[in-house]
Amino acid sequence: MVELYAAFTVLSMDNGTRDAVIITLAGILSHLVWYVVKHSWKACFGNSETQNPNSDVRNSKTDNGERESEATASKLKHSEPSKAVPNTSPREKLHSALREFINGRPELERSELRIVGQENKRQLEELLKERDDALKQRDQYSKNCDDACKDRDDARKQRDEDYRDRDSALQQLDGAHKIQDDLRESKLEAAENYKAMSDNLWDKTERKIYQSKQRYDERLRKAMDQTAAIKAASLEGKCANCSGIRIGDRSITTGGSYLTAALYKVMNTAEIGQDEEVYENLQQLRDKARQEIGVVVDRSYGLYSLMLTLDGNVERNNTLGVKGFQGLTEFTDYIGAALDHLVER
C-alpha cells in the first residue's frame, strides 16, 4: 500500500491536470487508510459511546506544514462492549461495520492490528510530509516559473520599447535625409539658375564691350585717316579745310584757323614785298602745325585706348552689381564726343 501510495504521489511537473488527479487519488487513499486505522484503534481500546468518532484524533497543520496528532482526553475502555450507534450516512455505516469487525477479533489480533495501525500512521505521516515537501517544491517551481515569465515579459516590453525607439530614430533620420536631399536639390537648382543667368549676363556684357570696341576702333580709324590726310596735304603744301590768302598777285594756302591766324600775324609783321621770307615763315608754321597735330593724334590714340578699357571695366562692374559708375560712364561719353570733334577739326 505504501509503495502504491508513493507511486501515486510522485509528482510530475509536465502536466498540471495529471498532478491534480494524482493528488486527489492520494488524498482519498490516505483518508481510507486513516479511517481503517482509527476505527481499529477504537475497536481495540475504546467504546463508541464514550468516544466521538470525529474527535478521537484531530489533525492540525503547524506553521511548517507538518501534521500533529492530538489524543483525546477520554480514556479508552477495553472491557466495555461497544454499542452500535444508529447511523444513517454511508461513512458512519462503514465505521460501524469496521468496529464490529475489529471487536470480533481476538485480543492478539487486535494487538497486531494496533501495531500495524501505528506503523501505517507513521508511514502515512511520512508520506504526508513527503507530499507537503513535493507541494512546496511544486510551489517553488511555479514561483520560479512565474518569475521567469515575468522576466520574459519585462524583456519583451523592453524589446518593444527599443523597437519603438529605433523606429522613431529611423523616422527622424529619414526626415533629416529628406531635408538634406531637398537642400541639395535646391542648391543644384540655384547653381544651375545662377550659371544660366551669369552666362546670359556675361554674354550681354561681352556683346556690349565688343560694340564699344568696334565704336572706338571706328574712332581710331577716322583719326588715322585724318592724320594721313593732314600729313599728305602738308607734304604737298596743302591742308584740309584750309583757306587761301592772296599776297600781291599770288595766292597762299593756309591750313585751318590756327595757320590762318599765324599767317595774318606774319603778314602784319613782315613786308609783303619780301616773298621768300613769307614762304619761309609759312613753311615753319606748317611744320609746327604738323607736329602739334601728330602729338594730338598720338594722345588721342592713348585716350581712346584708355576710354575703351574704362568702358569695359565699367560694364563688367555693372554686371557684378556695382551701381556707382553711371556718372563715370556719362563723363567718358562726353570726353569721347569732345575727342571725336577735336580729331575731326
DSSP output for 299-343: HHHHHHHHHHHHHHHHHHHHHTT--TTHHHHHHHHHHHHHHHHHH
Mean pLDDT of 327-345: 64
Residue pLDDT, tens place only, 231-256:
666 555 554 444 444 444 444 444 44
CA distance 41 to 56: 10
Angle of CA points 160, 164, 170, to nearest 5°: 140
| Domain coordinates in residue numbering, the chain | 2-55+82-159, 204-344
**6-20, 48-62, 166-180: which range is least confident on average?**
48-62
Helix (H) or strand (E) holding 244: strand 244-247
Model confidence over 273-284: pLDDT tens digits?
455 676 777 777
With 0.75 as the threshold, say if the pTM is over it: no
3-class state of residue 253 by DSSP: strand
What percent of the chain stands above pLDDT 70?
Answer: 49
Compute the distance between CA of residue 174 and CA of residue 345 in angstroms, rounded to an integer: 78
Q: Which three cell numbers stand for residue 124?
A: 502515512
Please give the biggest Cα pair distance in the chain. Answer: 208
Distance CA 37, CA 28 (A): 14
DSSP, residue by residue, 95-149: HHHHHHHHHTS-HHHHHHHHHHHHHHHHHHHHHHHHHHHHHHHHHHHHHHHHHHH
- Collapsing DSSP to helix, strand or coil, 43 comes out as helix
Q: Are 210 and 311 in contact (CB under 8 A)?
A: no
Residue 193 has pLDDT above 90, yes or no: no
* pLDDT band, residue 334 (cuts 50/70/90): low
